[in-house]
Amino acid sequence: MPTTLSRRTFLGAAATVAGGSLLPHSAYAAPAIRRSRVAGFAAVSSANGLRAVERAVRLMQEGTDTLDAAVEGVKIQELDPNDMSVGYGGLPNEDGVVQLDASCMHGPSRRAGAVAALEGIKTPSEIARLVLKHTNHIMLVGEGAKRFALSYGYAEEDLLTPRSRERWLRWRANRGAADDWLDVATDEPTGMRPTGTINCNVINEAGDLSSITTTSGLAWKIPGRAGDSPIVGAGQYCDNEIGAAGSTGRGESNILVCGGFLTVEHMRRGMAPTDACLETLRRVVAMTPPRLLGEDGQTDFQLTFYAVNKKGEIGAASLYPSRYAGHDGTTASIHDTASLYKGPR
């Protein structure tokens, strides 16, 4: 049997392969190609977002875009008067005015939108999405943000509920011993200012990601204050090739480390979502000034990060033990976060 091939024989064999008549696999096997795959539908949110992740995943499974699904998820809390950290019924600033913040990112289009100090509109998540979809800007603030919302047919409403107004009146009465207001009885912890937000990060079966964060901000804040929630790269961040992340808690401490962006970058380096969140929290502690640390060296505030990666893996971590909502594409449930500190805040 000849050990060499003539040019004619070689070309004939090549033509046979090209035409679909394959040679034995053991003799001429093609190199294996490993393709990355995503785990499917998933969502992660703050603990008040159990209904949000349920709705977002269900909508994505029905074919809804990832950002639209996330917006519909967080709107549950924005419209819920019993959640005083978000939207309608949110706790007001020191003047008794509810000012809302939100930002969002859409992984496939690489676009973002945000609003800050928005008054009179219940669903800032929707207005942030309008900024993303219909303008060449990323953030609108204050009166301009409200006028923008009104131009799209949104109605201006009083966002204070009787319950949130009562909380504000009690705070105003008790905020200083030397003021002209008489102290009133309250069962609220002294010195504790309520914070709260909802962050939601989602991925669909095609591997497309989106993220959103919306809040009424720190209770009794100085009018005009904006935390991390409307800051793209802090309150939330999304990279369609890597993952998405966001936060709740003390916004100023998150802004200083660009926590949403930093968490996604940790995942880019190969960290799992929970590990990425923990690493960002270590950076937060390193950047915390002494006035915000207790005698034990631990922070006197809470901060939590939530993340999902391109594989559909979710995770969360906080400074102090907390909880978060997750959906694996099958069921939604509440989980304990990982934490840097083991004791209560």
Per-residue pLDDT reduced to its tens digit, 108-140: 999 999 999 999 999 999 999 999 999 999 999
Per-residue pLDDT band for 15 (boundaries 50, 70, 90) equals very low
What's the angle, vertex CA 200, arms to CA 199 and CA 203, rounded to 5?
155
Q: Are strands 100-106 and 42-46 parallel, antiparallel or unpaired?
A: unpaired
DSSP class per residue in 51-85:
HHHHHHHHHHHTT--HHHHHHHHHHHHHT-TT-TT
The residues assigned a catalytic role are 197
Domain boundaries, the chain: 42-339
Alpha carbon 234 to its chain centroid, in Å, reads: 9
Rounded Cα gap, residues 17 and 35, in angstroms: 24
| Top-confidence residue, 246 or 195 | 246
Residue 175 pLDDT greater than 90, yes or no: no
Please write the tens of the pLDDT for every residue from 34-87: 344 556 999 999 999 999 999 999 999 999 999 999 999 999 999 999 999 999
| Top-confidence residue, 192 or 200 | 200
DSSP class per residue in 289-340:
-GGGB-TTS-BSS-EEEEEEETTS-EEEEESS--EEEEE-SS-EEEEEPEES
| Top-confidence residue, 14 or 298 | 298
pLDDT at 344: 76
Superfamily of domain 42-339: (Glycosyl)asparaginase (3.60.20.30)
Q: Considering the entire predicted model, what is its pTM?
A: 0.86
Please report where in the chains the tokens 């996330």 appear, as a residue.
Answer: 70
